[in-house]
Structure 1
Amino acid sequence: MDKLRSLHWVRDWTGLTTTHLSIGEKEKWVQAPGNIETRLYINGEWFESPDQIHLVRPFDEQPLCSVHSATVGHIDAAVSAALLSFPAWRDLGPLGRKPFFRRLSALIREHVSEFAALNALNLGRSSEISKWELQHSADMYEYYAEAAIDIVGETRVGVDGRLDFELRQPYGVVGAIIPWNVPTLMFTMKTGAALAAGNTVVLKSSEKAPLTSLLMASLMHKAGFPAGVVNVLSGLGPVAGARLAEHPDVRKLSFTGSTATGRLLQKVSAETNLKKFQLELGGKSPCIVFADADLKKAAELLANSFTFLSGQACIASTRVLVEESVMEEFMGHFRTFVGAKEMNVLTDPTVDGADGLSPLVDEIQFKKVLAYIEEGKRTSTTPVIGGHRIGTKGYFVAPCIFENLPQSSRLIQEEIFGPVVCVNTFKTEQEALTLANDTQYGLYASAFSKDVGRLMRCAKGLDAGMLGLNITSPDLVPGFAFGGYKSSGSGRDGYKHGLLTMVEQKTVGLNYGSQAHSMA
C-alpha cells in the first residue's frame, strides 16, 4: 500500500498547493458552516483553487459559503492519483476492501445531523428527508461491503483439455458526475458500486450542492480509504465535467443529470477514448389513472409525487392521464391535496423536525420554472391553479396544475424540474398508453386501477425503466435496478445492477491438454 500514499509528484506537476485559504484573504470568500472543508480532495489531501463557487441559501437568499472550484489541472491531478492507486486497490480483492465500507457506513450514521444541517442550508431540505437519504446511503455501503464477492463469471467445460471461462474485471479509473437534488444518495450509488468492484474514482459534485460531498470525502478519509482511491472535487460542468469526459485515462463515466448534458458528455468522449458510459438522465414521468381506481388515494399520492423536493426529482410524476369519465371527480380530490401543499411551506429548514414545501435550489432554477409556467399560462384554455411565487424571500413556487394542454406543449414534452404537473384525459386504454409514451423520456411511469390484468398490460406497454402500479414515485423498489429507457439514459444504478456495470467482461479460452483445438 506504500505507493498509494506517495504521490507527491502530483502536487509538483500541477503546481497545486495545500495551504488553506484563510478567511479574509479574498474579499468575496464566505466561510462554510460548521467548519466543513471547502477545498478539493485529491490523493488524500485537500487542495485549494483560485476559482470559487458562491452558494446562497435558497429559503432566504442569504449568502451561505464559498467552495473551491476545480480547474482542468485539478481534474488531471485527481485522475493521475486514481490511476496510480488502482492496482493496489484492485488487488485487495472484495474481502480486503470490505472493512473500508463498513467503517464508512458507521461514520455516516454518526454524522447524520451534520449532513442534515448542510442539506437544510444548501438545499432548503427538511431534516426528515435528509435522514431518509442518509439511511439509504449507509445501508447501501453496507450492501457493497458484502456484495462484491458475488461478482462472478461463467465457465464452460468442453472437449477434453479445453476450458472456456469469463472474467469480470474493474475498468480502472471511473469518473462520476452527480446532481444536486439527492447528493449524498447519488454520491453513494456512484462511488459504492465503482469502489466495491475494484475501481478507483474521481467524483465531481454539482456546483449547486457540493457541501455534503465534501463531508463524505472527509468521512472516507477518516474511514481509511487509501490516498488516491477516491477523489472528490467541486466544480463547474463546462470545466471539470468536460475534462472528466475527455480524459483518456478515465475508462468509464457514470453521470446523473439532464439529457442535454448527457449528450454533450458523450460527444466530448467520442472525440477521445470512447469511454464506457452509464447515464441516468431526465424524465417526464406519466401516470395513468383509470376510472376504476381509488381516485382519492391516487390523487393524494400524485400530489405528493410532483411536489416531493418541489418537483426537483427525475422520477416525479409530472404528467397525469385521467380516464375522461372520472376527470371531474379526480380533480376535486387532486386540487384539495395540492392546495394543502401551498399552505405548508418550509420557510426555515434549520428547525429540526420541520417539514413542508421546499424551495427550488437557486435563482437560476427558480426563474426557469417560472418561465415555463408563464409559457403554459399563455397557451392554456382552462384556469391555471398555483404557479405563483410564495412570499418575497426564498425560491418558493406554489404547486401548479395545468389541464388539457396540447400534447405538443413544451410543458408536456420537456423536463421542468419544478412543482408543475399537466393533467389530460383519455378515453381508451390504448390511447392512454400512446399518450404516456409520447415523449423522448422513459425513466419512470405509473398506473392506478383495480384491474390486475390491465395493470400488467401497462407494465408491458409503458416505455419506462421503472414502474409503479397502484403506487407512484418517490416510492421505488428497494434492491432493484434504477435507470430508464430512450433518452432517459443507459445502464443501471443501484445494488447488484450497479456493481455489474462497473466491471468489464473478458472471454478466455484455455487449452491445458496436449491436443490443439480449433474452431476452423
Structure 2
Amino acid sequence: MLDARSLSPRLPVLQLLIDGQGVDPVEGGFLPVVNPATGEKVCDVPSATAADVDRAVKAARRAFESGPWSRMSARERGKLIRKLADLLWQRREEFALVESLNNGKTFRDAVRGDVAPGAGTLAYFADWADKIHGEVLPVDGPFHTYVLKEPVGVVGLIVPWNYPTCILCWKLGPALAAGCTVVVKPSEMTPLTAMKLGALALEAGFPPGVLNVVTGYGDPAGEALARHPDVDKISFTGSGRTARRLMQASAGSNLKKLTLELGGKSPQVIFSDADLERAVEACFWGIFGNKGETCNAGSRVLVQEGIYDDFVGKLAERARKLRVGDPLDPSTEMGAQVSQKQLDTILGYVESGRQQGAKLLAGGERDTESIKAKGYFMRPTIFGDVKPDMKIAQEEIFGPVLSCLRFRDDAHALELANGTLYGLAASLWTRDVAKAHALARKVKSGVVWINCFNEFDDAAPFGGYKESGWGRDLSHHALEGYLQCKAVWTRLPTDT
C-alpha cells in the first residue's frame, strides 16, 4: 500500500455546484472542515441555506424536464455513468487521501472500503441503465395494456459521514441509471469528496443540473431539501432521529418518496461448533474496521457458554495489540473518530457500560499517546458479561466498542439476536449449515451472513428491518426505488 504521508491532497473547488457551475452561497456563509487526526482545520466550505437549496432543486428540475439529460437515450446515460465510474477508479488514491483527511479513517480503508467500492457501484448501475423495461399485461377484453417504468424525478441524496464516497455512489448510481436528476447534501463534517465527485461528473460530460452539490448543516440545508415541494424523493442514510424528521417533512410537503437506511446493533452469533479462528477474525474487524463507525458494525457478539471465555479472551488480546494512529501511516490499523462530539458520545457509552456492571476487558479510554493527543482517537474497547438490557447492548454507539453476551442454546441465541429495536444485519457462525439456514429465516434482519461477515456485492440488496429503515440500497431492488410504474390502456378496435 502506498505511503500516503508523501502525498499532497487535491481539495475540491470550495463552492456549491449548481447547474454545472461553482457558485458561492447566497448569504455568503461558510463552515469549517476539520482533520480528525489533528483537530486542525483543513478548509472552509459553503454553508448553504434554503435559498441555495432552492436554486439547486430548480436546476435539477430543469435538467429533468427539458435539458439534454431528458432527451438522452438510456444507453447514452449509461455510458456517462460508466465514464464517471472509470474516472473515480483512476483517481481512487486522490479521493482516498482527501477522504482520510476529512473522515479520519486509514488511507487503506479509504481506498479499499470506500472509494474503490463506490466506483464499482457506479459501474454496476451504468450497466443497468438500458435494461429498465416495462411489461405487457394479459388483461381481459379488447385492450392492449402495458406498464412503463419511469424515473421519479428530482431526488435529494442526504449522505452520511462514515462512508462519504461509497454511500453517495450507492444512491447516485441507481438514481442516474433510472434517469433522475439529483441534489446531493453531504454531511457537514465530510463534504469534500462529494464536492470532488460533482466536478468529476462535469468532466465525464454530464449535462448541467443533473448532479448538484450543496454543502451545509442539516438545518437549514438538509431540512430545506426534505421540505422542498419540487423534490420527488429523498434517499437518506443516518440516524433514526433524523429519519423521523424527514418523514414529517415528507408528510408536510408533497408526500415525497423516502428510502431510509438507518442504524444497527448487529449481532454475530458464535455457536460452539464454529470455526473459531475465522470467527474471531470476523468479529474483530466487524467492530473495529472503519473505527466502528459503520451502520452494520458487529457491535454485539453472542457466544455460546461453553466457548465464551476462550473466544472473548482471544478478542480482547487482539484488541490490545491493535495499532491506532496516523491514518496516513501504512502501519496504522485504526484511525481517528470523525469528530470530538462523536468521541465524547463513545466515551459516554463506555462510562455507561462501567456503571451498569459490564466487565471492561480492553480499551475504554481515549488514546492520547504522542501525535494522538490533539486528534479524536479511541482505544478499541471490549466489554464482557454484558446483559441484554444494558445501554451498550441496546443502543447504537457508532464507535469501536464491542459488547459480548453469553447464550445457552439456539432459542436463547435467537431471542438475544432479535432483542433490539434494530434489524440491519446479523451473522451466524456454525458448522451446522442446516441449522444456520433455519435460524436465518427467524432472524429479523435485512442481511444475514453465515460463516462470514460484512460481505457485499452490488448485486445484493442492503437495508434493514424494524427501526433500521425502509427500502434498499444496492442491486435492482435499489433501482426500483427511483422508478415509478405507469399502466397504459388502449381499447382495440373490435370490428374485423
Matched ranges for 1:203-282 at <5 A: 203-282=184-263
Quick check: 1:41–1:217 contact (8 Å CA) kept in 2? Answer: yes
Q: Which residue is 1:345 aligned to?
A: 324
Structure 2 runs not aligned, ≥5 long: 1-7
Q: 1:487 aligns with which of 461, 467, 483?
A: 467
Tell me which residue corresponds to 2:453. 472
AA matched with 1:47: V
What is the DSSP-based 3-state SS (H/G/I as helix, E as strand, rest coil) of the residue aligned with 1:345? coil
> Mean alpha-carbon deviation: is it higher for 475-484 or for 433-442?
475-484
Matched, 1:377 2:354: yes
Superposed displacement of residue 507, structure 1:
2.0
Inter-partner Cα distance in structure 2 for 1:219 and 1:230: 10
Distance of 2:410 and 2:367 partners within structure 1:
38
Alpha-carbon deviation of 1:420? 0.6
- Structure 1 position 366 matched with structure 2 position 343: yes
Cα drift, residue 355 of structure 1: 3.3
- Match in the other structure for 1:393: 374
Correspondence for 1:70 among 38, 44, 48: 48
Match of 1:329 among 306, 310, 325: 310
TM-superposed deviation, 1:431: 1.0
Match for residue 438 of structure 1?
Answer: 419
Which piece of structure 1 moves more, 201-210 or 125-134? 125-134
Shifted more, 302-311 versus 143-152: the winner is: 143-152
Instruction: Tell me how far apart the structure 2 counterparts of residues 134 and 381 of structure 1 sit (CA, whole Å).
Output: 37
Q: 1:160, 1:513 within 8 Å by CA — same for their partners in 2?
A: no
Amino acid in structure 1 at the alignment position of 2:324: V
Q: CA deviation at 1:66?
A: 0.9
Q: 1:273 Cα shift?
A: 0.8
Please state whether the residue corresponding to 2:321 is helix, strand or coil.
Answer: helix
Change in Cα spacing, 1:320 to 1:386, as seen in structure 2 (3 Å) is same
Query: Residue type of the partner of 1:443?
Result: L
TM-score in terms of structure 1 length: 0.89
Instruction: Give distance in 1, aligned partners of 2:82 and 2:409.
Output: 52
1:151 and 1:500 in contact (8 A); partners too: no
Q: 1:362 to 1:445 in 2, by over 3 A?
A: same
Residue 33 and residue 39 in structure 1: after superposition, are their counterparts in 2 closer, same or farther (change >3 A)? farther
Q: Whole-Å Cα distance in 2 between the matches of residues 206 and 280 of structure 1?
A: 15
**Where do 1:488-507 residues align within 5 Å?**
488-507=468-487
Shift of 1:119: 1.5
Q: Which amino acid aligns with 2:259?
A: Q
C-alpha contact 2:16 2:24 (8 A) present in aligned 1: yes
SS in 1 for 2:324: coil
Q: Could you tell me which residue of structure 2 aligns to residue 295 of structure 1?
A: 276
Task: Establish whether residue 113 from structure 1 lines up as the match of residue 102 from structure 2.
Answer: no
Task: Report the alpha carbon displacement of residue 221 of structure 1 after superposing the two structures with TM.
Answer: 1.1
Shift of 1:120: 2.1
Q: 2:332 aligns with which of 343, 355, 360?
A: 355
Q: 1:55 to 1:158 in 2, by over 3 A?
A: closer
Are the equivalent residues in 2 in contact too, given 1:380–1:402 (CA < 8 A)?
Answer: no
1:478 to partner: Cα distance: 4.2
Contact 2:358–2:387 (Cα < 8 Å) also in 1: no
Q: Report the CA distance between 1:318 and its aligned residue.
A: 0.3
Change (3 A) 1:420 1:355: same
Unaligned runs of 5+ in 1: 1-31, 516-520
Partner Cα separation in structure 2 for residue 300 and residue 131 of structure 1: 21
Equivalent residue, structure 1, for 2:62: 84
Q: Distance in 1 between matches of 2:325 and 2:198?
A: 29
Q: How far apart are 1:154 and its partner, in Å?
A: 2.3
* Counterpart Cα distance in 1 of 2:125 and 2:315: 40
User: What RMSD in Å do the two structures reach over aligned CA positions?
Assistant: 1.6
Relative to the length of structure 2, the TM-score reads 0.93
The percent identity for this pair of structures is 37
Q: Describe the superposition over 1:335-363 as per-residue Cα deviations: whole angstroms up to 9, x where unpaired.
A: 1222222xx1132x234x44311110011
Instruction: Measure how far apart 1:315 and its partner are.
Output: 0.8
Separation in 1, partners of 2:250, 2:335: 36
Gap change, CA 1:80 and 1:429, over 3 Å in 2: same
Q: 1:478 to 1:103 in 2, by over 3 A?
A: closer
Moved more, 428-437 or 81-90: 81-90
Match of 1:195 in 2: 176
Q: Which amino acid aligns with 1:366?
A: L
What SS does the aligned partner of 1:34 have?
A: coil
